[in-house]
């Protein structure tokens, strides 16, 4: 049985606010259970790709499909529904400044209306796994850069969403923490969840069930 396609860009063209071309005939797919690492230098369009994927921007032409439905920027109910199935780290996935670490991590389960007992059980598991028990009641501005990133990973993990978007996930991590995060990414890959990982560097260490692409001249090669 063929795997379902969870992300698909169909012949997407998109220009910047100044009319400069960013993507020209951008076409790619991500199948359920597989992940995609996209590398590209600063300014190549990685952030714009995420914004198109989440419906924050509308392509000039072409279409973006998520979980089998075409994304329509402006359709708030649709966007809320599909975004609840996506976790994220880095880039636009900042922590909410006014919420504590625990509140930020719990937020995806609050949105889905999960039972309080389940929320607390998963919260303790995430805070323990990502070594954030002592930081649970701190605000994001009180965290170190590493703690901030770990809190994002904990939030992206708690609801077991089928797709994770990771924007420069290793940025600012010391070698020891990076090793732990890489081991976490391996577990995610083997769990059947999918990831789209954006990076400005060379391809990271090999992950299972992953494809590698590079942004060049508005296309993935």
Question: Could you tell me if residue 63 is inside a domain?
Answer: yes
- pLDDT for residue 42: 87
Question: Could you tell me if residue 160 is inside a domain?
Answer: no
Question: Could you tell me if residue 139 is inside a domain?
Answer: no
Question: Could you tell me if residue 28 is inside a domain?
Answer: yes
How many domains does one find in the chain?
1
Domain holding 53, by residue range, is: 1-85+203-221
Enclosing H/E stretch for 39: strand 35-39
What are residue 218's phi and psi, to 5 degrees?
80, 10
Output the pTM of the full model.
0.93
Question: Could you tell me if residue 135 is inside a domain?
Answer: no
DSSP one-letter string for 151-162: HHHHHHHTT--S
Contacts of residue 80, defined as CB under 8 A and 6 or more positions apart, other chains included, come to: none
CA-CA-CA-CA torsion sign (132, 136, 140, 142): negative
**CA separation for the pair 61, 10 (Å, rounded):** 9
Q: How far is CA 77 from CA 33, 68, 81, 83, 220, in A?
A: 26, 16, 6, 10, 30
- pLDDT for residue 74: 87
Question: Could you tell me if residue 183 is inside a domain?
Answer: no
The CATH number for 45's domain is: 3.40.50.300
- pLDDT for residue 204: 57
- pLDDT for residue 171: 84
CA-CA-CA-CA torsion sign (94, 97, 100, 103): negative
- pLDDT for residue 206: 79
pLDDT tens digits for range 41-87? 988 999 999 999 999 999 999 999 999 999 999 899 999 999 999 99
Question: Could you tell me if residue 158 is inside a domain?
Answer: no
- pLDDT for residue 202: 60
The fraction of the chain above a pLDDT of 70, given in percent, is 97
Question: Could you tell me if residue 65 is inside a domain?
Answer: yes
Show the low-confidence residues of the chain (pLDDT under 50). 1
């Amino acid at each position: 049985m063929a795997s379902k396609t969870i992300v698909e860009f169909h012949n997407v063209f998109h220009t910047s606010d100044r009319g400069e071309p960013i993507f020209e005939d951008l076409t790619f797919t991500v199948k359920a259970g597989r992940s995609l690492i996209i590398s590209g230098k600063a300014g190549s369009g990685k952030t714009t790709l995420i914004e198109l994927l989440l419906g924050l921007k509308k392509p000039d032409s072409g279409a973006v499909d998520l979980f089998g439905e075409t994304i329509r920027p402006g359709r708030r109910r649709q966007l809320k529904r599909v975004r609840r199935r996506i976790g994220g780290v880095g880039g636009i996935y900042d922590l909410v400044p006014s919420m504590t670490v625990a509140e930020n991590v719990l937020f995806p389960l609050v949105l889905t209306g999960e039972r309080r007992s389940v929320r607390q059980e998963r919260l303790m598991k995430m805070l323990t796994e990502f070594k954030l028990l002592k930081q649970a009641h701190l605000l994001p501005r009180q965290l170190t850069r590493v703690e901030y990133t770990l809190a994002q990973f904990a939030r992206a993990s708690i609801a077991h969403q089928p797709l994770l978007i990771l924007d420069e996930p290793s940025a600012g991590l010391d070698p020891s923490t990076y090793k732990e995060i890489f081991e976490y990414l391996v577990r995610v890959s083997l769990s059947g969840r999918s990831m789209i990982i954006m990076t400005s560097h060379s391809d990271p260490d090999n992950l299972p069930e992953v494809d590698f692409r590079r942004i060049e001249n508005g296309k993935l090669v």
